[in-house]
Amino acid sequence: MIAKDASRYTIFIFIVFICTYLIRIRIPIPGEGGLIHAGNVALFAIAIVYGKKAGAISGSIGMTLFDLLSGWTNYAIGTLIIRFVCGFVVGVVAHSQNECGKSAYRNILAMCFGVVIIVLGYYFYEIFFIYHGDYIIPILHMPSNISQSIIGIIFAMPIIKFLQKSR
């Protein structure tokens, strides 16, 4: 069972990394700039269909690898923590009350919790670790984090339905 899980998580990590790396748009905003990517689509879908552990591991490692390999190294630690918590919470909410990710309402609620974790997580990470107390620049980054998260919800929904049917 451990080998099967390791193989599955490795594939999920790769999917999150590829979605983040290949489907991205750089946003010119003050400070470090912003980024909209499709990594959230994969993170949300994996957490909802396969659960909290798969979502937490694949989202955190996949997106942290992206940060390390794409010039966003100063965000790597924050990404590791924020995306782990996001994947875990999305999986917990989607699988609560024996729904197992099958309730569209609960899935949307789970992803909305994920959006809040992403937006606030990066906001506070930037204040304390990137901009050292400046809270204005991180506010300017919030729209790109919100946009990529909402895009993640919209595109994850049909993928979730497809994955659930194919399981």
86 vs 143: CA distance, rounded Å: 18
155 vs 42: CA distance, rounded Å: 9
Tell me the Ramachandran region of residue 31: left when phi exceeds 0, alpha when psi lies from -120 to 50, beta otherwise. Answer: left
Instruction: Report the alpha-carbon angle 50-99-93, nearest 5.
Output: 70
- Residue 73 has which token pair? 């190294």
49 vs 118: CA distance, rounded Å: 20
- Tell me, what DSSP letter sits at residue 51? -
pLDDT given at position 75: 97
pLDDT given at position 1: 67
61 vs 41: CA distance, rounded Å: 15
pLDDT given at position 2: 87
pLDDT given at position 59: 98
116: domain CATH number is 1.10.1760.20
Question: Which residues span the domain enclosing 150?
Answer: 2-166
Q: Based on the structure, what is the number of domains in the chain?
A: 1
pLDDT digits (tens), the chain, 167 positions = 688 889 999 999 999 999 999 988 888 877 777 788 999 999 999 999 999 999 999 999 999 999 999 999 999 999 999 999 999 999 999 999 988 899 999 999 999 999 999 999 999 999 999 999 999 999 998 988 998 999 999 999 999 999 999 87
